Each structure stands twice: as C-alpha cells, then as structure tokens.
Amino acid sequence: MNNTFLSQFLMMTNLYSVGMVIILVGLFFIINKMSKKFKFTKLMIISIFIGLALGVFIQLVAKFPDNPGEITWINEVSTWYGLFGNGFMDLLKMIVVPLVLVSIIRVIMNMKEDNLGKLTFKSMFMFFATTAMAAIIAVIVAKIFNLGSSSIQAVSTSEELREITSLPDTIRGLLPSNPVKVMADGNTVAVVIFASFLGLAIRRLSKKYLDIIKPFMDFVEAFYKIIVSVAITVIKLMPYAVVPLMASTIASRGVKSLLDVVDFILALYISVAIMFVVHLVIITLSGMNPLTYIKNASKALILAFTSRSSLGTLPVTLEVLTENMDVDSGTASFVTSLGSNMGMNGCAGIYPALVSVMLANMAGVEMNFTFYVMLIIVITISSLGIAGIPGTATMSVSVVISGMGMGAYFPLAGAIIAIDPILDMGRTMLNVNGAMAASIVVDSSMKKENKKERKIA
C-alpha cells in the first residue's frame, strides 16, 4: 500500500492510519451522544481528556518513538486530524476580522470621543503592566529552577534567529495602510484603528447627515447580529475540534521529547499558574468572584489551550465576556482585539523571560541587577505587535534575546523549540486569560467613571 495515490493524495499508506481515523470518527459519535447529557463546559473538559488519551494511545501503538515526525503513519494521522482540528480554527478565523470590524464601528459610533481615548489608554496600560509582571514572575521561577545550568543540552537546530523589526517599524506596521491587506493578514490592531476612524466619522456626520448615513448604521447593527449568530454556530463545534487538536499535539511531539526538557516545561507551567492567580486577584479587585469567573471563562480557556491561537479564540472570548460576564460588547471587542496582537502575558512575557535566563546560564552570561531590569524593559516594549497565532512566541524570543545582545546563542534553544506546541498550549491560555482580565478591569473602570459623570451632571 505505497503509491502516489495513497501516500500523497489519500494520505493513508498504513492500516494504522486508517484505524486511527476510524477511531476519531467513532469518538465524534460518542461526543455527539454525550452532548445531550452534559453541559457544554463539562463536555469540553471531557474532550480534552479524550484527546489526551488518544494522543498517548497513538504513541503507545508507535512504541513511543524518539522522533515521531519520522514515522509516516503518524504524519498521516496528524494530517487527517488537522482537517478537523485546524479546520475548525479556520472557521473561527473566518469570522474574526468581520466580527472585530463591525463590533468596533458599532461601539465607536455611539461612544463619546473622550471615552475612546480613555479606553485606549486603560487597555494598553493593562497589557503592558501585566506583561511586565509576567516577565518578573518568569525570571524568579527561572532562577529557582536554575534553567540551563545542567539539564538542558546544547543541540543543533534548523531554527534560525528570526528577522528583527525595529520598534518604529513595528508601530508603523500596525497602521492600516491597506485596509484589505491588514484584514487578510489578520492584523486586528490595524483593523481596530481602521474601524475607529469609520466609527468616529459616522458619529460626526450623524449630526448633519443622519438621513444619509442612517442606512449604513442600520446595516452595521444588522451585520453585527448576523456575524454573532455565525460565531455561535461555529462555537458549537468546539468539542469535536478539541479531541483531534489535543491528540495530534501529543502524537506528533512524542512523550520522550517532553522528558528531555521537563524542567523547562515545569518552569513555564508554574509561571503560567502563578500569573493566572495574579489575573484572578486583579479580577477580584474589580468586583468579580474568581470562582464564577473561572466557570464562565472555561470555554475560551479550553479552546485557547488546545488550539494555541489567541486570534482564533477571539470569537469565543468575546462571547464569554459579553454573554457570561456582562462586559460591555464594545469594551470587550476593543480590548480583546488589541490583546490578540499585543501584551501577551504568555508568549511575549513569560516565555522570552524563561528562554533568556536559560540561554544566559548556558552561555555563561553574567546576570546582575542591571541585566534583569534591562530584560524586563525589553520584554515589555517588545510585547507590542506580537500576532496571536501559533509560532509567534519564537519571534518574541528573537526580539528579546537580540535586544539583550544574546542573539548568537539562539541555536542553544533547539531542545525547547522542538517541543514548542506543548509549551504554546499553556502560553496561549494565559494570553487569552490576560485579555479577558484586562477587559473586565477596563470595563469596570469605564462604568464607574460613567456613573460619576452622570451623578455630576
């Protein structure tokens, strides 16, 4: 069973490939049956464990190989599983840009101009502040674990230092010079800027030309209702996507590769857990019960963990914030859209801090107080403009270690890069949690200010 049709088109050259796809389809039927008995959140959690068990089972059948990527049938299974898992993420990404565009236009055309400035300032402050906190936590954890001093070996890697973009060019890249292109690229910050200009123009023109622009305002309201309905329809497919996403990640990376860098994995997930608690404290101070938050946020967090895409999770994040947490739809859209491209606590905060300390230990770089202060500053500034899709954390690391003068040591991180998807799951979940925490804080602050203004008036 090894010809072009089977190997390149059908992607099934082995009975194992056929069997694993049949097992996945069978699990879909089981999930469909369970969906009638369990609530959505419980079904999502069950799906994670099913996917984890399936991934380990694939590894067991393959006899836990050192390099799963060299086994043809595992690659074929991952490709078929990607049809369902990544296909679902493609559907979510399909609605991200129109959802962000119409949501921002809708809220801006009804918002006071000074409120827009306050909203922008508060959002960016929250993202920069939490990213700095995440980096500090990661540095402390990295020092406790003494990353890079002994357990992680220097290995060769095909990864190269990513091309670094200067800060002015990064900021300029966020401007929508071509609105159609930035929409196609998924640059949500640029989409927010473009939508803000449209919203401001609509509000300004409505004073004199309301009759003329009223049809467009009605169109925005109608389209918003439609795109939200589409999002809800797609979101209902989540449990079916979680299983193949989780299984494929475990199967393609292998259990053995995780054991080689177990200390780094532990350091990252401990850092993520600590920063998650910090988010809960911030949320509690904003007046929300942390247990209620966790219960309501679980849908978005589970998808972020399994999909590894902050941007792809955006429609679910918005639904959770507006439907379950009573966050203003405009505030939620604005803050989370920014959070999909900047201030990512996991990918742009914790991860580059851990890698930097690890590389410094491996290369014998002196780490004094000045080193740590500089590292936090570089991480915080470089968190601007990091795209919310899988793989961009490597870009963040490139920027940070280059800023610290350690770019030549990038190849030493080969063992870490090899298991990046496992690390990316926790990082992305924290990214999304940080965006939701920022949305709740900003929304609470904006509502308090509006109440004070109404009392004064």
User: What is the distance between the alpha carbons of residues 187 and 83, in angstroms, rounded to a whole number?
Assistant: 24
- At 250, which helix (H) or strand (E)? helix 238-253
Over residues 112-122, the mean pLDDT reads 77
pLDDT at 389 over 60: no
pLDDT at 155 over 50: no
Over residues 392-410, the mean pLDDT reads 78
Over residues 126-140, the mean pLDDT reads 95
Supply the mean pLDDT for the chain.
84
Q: Which domain holds residue 122?
A: 4-456
Contacts of 355 (CB under 8 A, 6+ apart): 397, 400, 401, 413, 416
pLDDT for the residue numbered 266: 94
pLDDT at 394 over 50: yes
Q: How many other C-beta atoms are found inside a 10 Å radius of the C-beta of residue 98?
A: 17
Over residues 14-66, the pLDDT tens digits come to 889 999 999 999 999 999 999 888 887 788 888 888 988 999 899 999 888 87
pLDDT at 124 over 70: yes
Over residues 152-158, the mean pLDDT reads 42
pLDDT at 271 over 90: yes
Q: Are 228 and 99 in contact (CB under 8 A)?
A: yes
Residue 129, both tokens: 């502040």
Which CATH number is 75's domain given? Answer: 1.10.3860.10
pLDDT at 226 over 80: yes
Higher confidence at residue 110 or residue 284?
A: 284
Q: Are 392 and 420 in contact (CB under 8 A)?
A: no
Provide the b/e sequence for 352-372 (b: ≥16 CB within 10 Å): bbbbbbbbbbbeeeeeeeebb
Over residues 189-213, the pLDDT tens digits come to 788 889 889 988 998 898 889 999 9
Place 320 in a pLDDT band, splitting at 50, 70 and 90: very high
Place 256 in a pLDDT band, splitting at 50, 70 and 90: low
Count of domains for the chain: 1
Place 152 in a pLDDT band, splitting at 50, 70 and 90: very low
pLDDT for the residue numbered 297: 94
pLDDT for the residue numbered 430: 95
